[in-house]
Amino acid sequence: MAAPGVCGWSTRQVAAWLRAEGFCDYVELLCERHRLDGAGLLALTEYDLRSPPLELQVLGDIKRLSASLRGLRRRNGHALEDLGLAREEGGEPGPTRNGSGGSPGGERRNPYSNGKGKQRDRRLDPECWKTVVSSVYVTLVCGVTSFVMVIVHDRVPDMQTYPPLPDIFLDSVPRIPWAFAMAEGCGLVLLIIWLLVLLLHKHRSILMRRLCSLTGTVFLLRCVTMFVTSLSVPGQHLQCSAKMYGDVWAKLRRALAIWSGFGMTLTGVHTCGDYMFSGHTVVLTMLNFFVTEYTPRTWNFLHTLSWVLNLFGIFFILAAHEHYSIDVFIAFYITTRIFLYYHTLANTRAYQQSRRARIWFPMFSFFECNVNGPVPNEYSWPFSRPAFMKDLIG
């Protein structure tokens, strides 16, 4: 039935082809209701059959009709070119290099891809200069955070006037003095795991850029919350009182000490007033999510270890009575939501069709504009590999 002039077929001729191929049940739907002619028939894809307004429900019919359409397209390659559709492997039509309606450069996307499989035909530009920009961004945010922590220490409420707020967990669980050091130890182990993943990941530049942009954004939000509202200290063991650091230069020196010590008690940094919400919880949760996102699903032991370190770290923060329960809950919630929202936009490329996303998330659009879809979990040795490493990593 594949006539040379298939592009000029009328809906009646398309109906005759459908009947001849054994698809009488779909003549009314395709030809009478949707007025499908020869050109439309050649452009019809399996995705069209599954999606509105057709939404065929019988899988066998979808597959058989798709196979018949591929055969028709193979026998009418010149007609595809006349319609501006390039022939591709498998017979599915795709946009030409100069055609419209497709991805940049004529790249064809699988509408059913869940983003977990390797996309071998897609090259990801590392754009190292953007990674440098994101690193500068997170460094500046950490500096601003350190300075805000000095300011809120000046405003910490007096413990005699404002005693610790009621908290179900803190009131029920006795304080463990060494627990906060254990929480920071969990964070260090997670950091080491993440650095190893980052070192061996083929797309390490993109991963580093995402970590810096997300961490910087969450900590910038944290600066606002702890600056606008000063909470009383969560425990009597914290000997905190308003401490004036003198002029601006004295505050900057104190902020530099906090920044250089990464805000950790293990490095001798002790601060008060930086509540709502917990920065330690942010770091633990962010590292956990990056480790589990950018390692294969089959690495169950590593994923379990990452979650154990995250949850135990949170427990130790509360057991040390260094933060209110609401601090930890909000930190975990905000970090996970921002991580998931960012990656949903990046993986689906939804922001490309959304003007609102580009307006409200300009930094995201800037960092992700050239990353087409999910980042595959591919690994490579970053240095010139010895012979045994070639066999080990591949």
Distances from the Cα of 385 to the Cα of 196, 203, 376, 380, angstroms? 16, 17, 22, 9
- Asked if residues 175 and 319 have their Cβ atoms less than 8 Å apart, the reply is yes
> How much of the chain is helix, strand and coil, in % rounded to 5?
60, 0, 40
What are residue 275's phi and psi, to 5 degrees? -110, 170
Cα R_g (the chain), whole angstroms: 29
Exposure of 25 in the CB half-sphere (CA atoms within 13 A): 7
- Asked if residues 307 and 193 have their Cβ atoms less than 8 Å apart, the reply is no
Distances from the Cα of 309 to the Cα of 200, 316, 376, angstroms? 21, 10, 25
Count of beta carbons in the 10 Å neighbourhood of residue 5? 10
List the catalytic residue out of 167, 280, 343, 391: 280
Token pair in block for residue 329: 């809950």
Exposure of 282 in the CB half-sphere (CA atoms within 13 A): 24
What are residue 85's phi and psi, to 5 degrees? -115, 125
Token pair in block for residue 368: 């992700």
Residue 327 a catalytic site member: yes
- Asked if residues 291 and 283 have their Cβ atoms less than 8 Å apart, the reply is no
Residues 6 or more apart whose Cβ sits within 8 Å of residue 276 = 225, 226, 229, 231, 324, 326, 327, 330
List the catalytic residue out of 167, 323, 343, 391: 323
Token pair in block for residue 278: 């917990």
List the catalytic residue out of 158, 327, 343, 391: 327
Count of beta carbons in the 10 Å neighbourhood of residue 321? 24
- Output the 3-class SS for 46-101: HHHHHCCCCCCCCHHHHHHHHHHHHHHHHCCHHHHHHCCEEECCCCCEEECCCCCC
Catalytic amino acids? 280, 323, 327
